[in-house]
Protein backbone atom coordinates (compact mmCIF):
# COMPACT_ATOMS: atom_id res chain seq x y z
CA UNK A 1 0.00 0.00 0.00
CA UNK A 2 2.81 2.44 0.85
CA UNK A 3 4.55 1.57 -2.41
CA UNK A 4 1.54 2.73 -4.43
CA UNK A 5 1.34 5.95 -2.37
CA UNK A 6 5.03 6.59 -3.06
CA UNK A 7 4.49 5.98 -6.74
CA UNK A 8 1.58 8.42 -6.85
CA UNK A 9 3.62 11.07 -5.02
CA UNK A 10 6.55 10.63 -7.39
CA UNK A 11 4.22 10.88 -10.40
CA UNK A 12 2.80 14.14 -9.03
CA UNK A 13 6.28 15.55 -8.52
CA UNK A 14 7.33 14.56 -12.04
CA UNK A 15 4.19 16.13 -13.52
CA UNK A 16 4.81 19.35 -11.58
CA UNK A 17 8.42 19.47 -12.77
CA UNK A 18 7.29 18.97 -16.37
CA UNK A 19 4.85 21.87 -16.04
CA UNK A 20 7.55 24.10 -14.55
CA UNK A 21 10.03 23.14 -17.26
CA UNK A 22 7.65 24.27 -20.02
CA UNK A 23 7.12 27.75 -18.51
CA UNK A 24 8.74 30.64 -20.35
CA UNK A 25 11.22 32.38 -18.08
CA UNK A 26 12.12 36.05 -17.93
CA UNK A 27 15.82 36.81 -17.67
CA UNK A 28 16.73 38.03 -14.20
CA UNK A 29 18.84 40.89 -15.53
CA UNK A 30 15.82 42.36 -17.36
CA UNK A 31 13.65 42.06 -14.27
CA UNK A 32 16.33 43.60 -12.04
CA UNK A 33 16.71 46.59 -14.38
CA UNK A 34 12.94 47.12 -14.32
CA UNK A 35 12.90 46.92 -10.52
CA UNK A 36 15.74 49.42 -10.13
CA UNK A 37 14.04 51.80 -12.56
CA UNK A 38 10.73 51.53 -10.67
CA UNK A 39 12.46 52.24 -7.35
CA UNK A 40 14.24 55.27 -8.76
CA UNK A 41 11.05 56.62 -10.31
CA UNK A 42 9.06 56.27 -7.07
CA UNK A 43 11.64 57.05 -4.38
CA UNK A 44 10.20 60.51 -3.62
CA UNK A 45 6.81 59.05 -2.67
CA UNK A 46 8.23 56.06 -0.76
CA UNK A 47 7.87 56.66 3.00
CA UNK A 48 10.61 54.12 3.77
CA UNK A 49 13.13 56.22 1.88
CA UNK A 50 11.90 59.79 2.28
CA UNK A 51 10.30 59.42 5.71
CA UNK A 52 6.93 60.58 6.96
CA UNK A 53 6.19 64.08 8.22
CA UNK A 54 5.57 64.10 11.97
CA UNK A 55 2.29 65.96 11.49
CA UNK A 56 0.83 63.31 9.16
CA UNK A 57 2.19 60.22 10.92
CA UNK A 58 -0.79 58.32 12.38
CA UNK A 59 1.52 56.05 14.41
CA UNK A 60 3.33 58.81 16.29
CA UNK A 61 2.87 58.65 20.06
CA UNK A 62 0.44 61.25 21.30
CA UNK A 63 2.07 61.52 24.71
CA UNK A 64 5.65 61.34 25.75
CA UNK A 65 6.80 58.61 28.11
CA UNK A 66 7.73 59.71 31.62
CA UNK A 67 9.80 57.50 33.88
CA UNK A 68 9.51 57.95 37.64
Report the distance separating Cα 57 and Cα 51, nearest Å. Answer: 10
Give the global pTM: 0.39
The string of pLDDT tens digits covering residues 7-26 is 999 999 999 999 999 998 87
Where residue 2 falls among pLDDT bands split at 50, 70, 90?
A: low
What is the DSSP track for 37-53? HHHHHHGGG-HHHH---
Amino acid sequence: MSCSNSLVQVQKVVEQLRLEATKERIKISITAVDLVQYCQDNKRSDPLISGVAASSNPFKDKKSCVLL
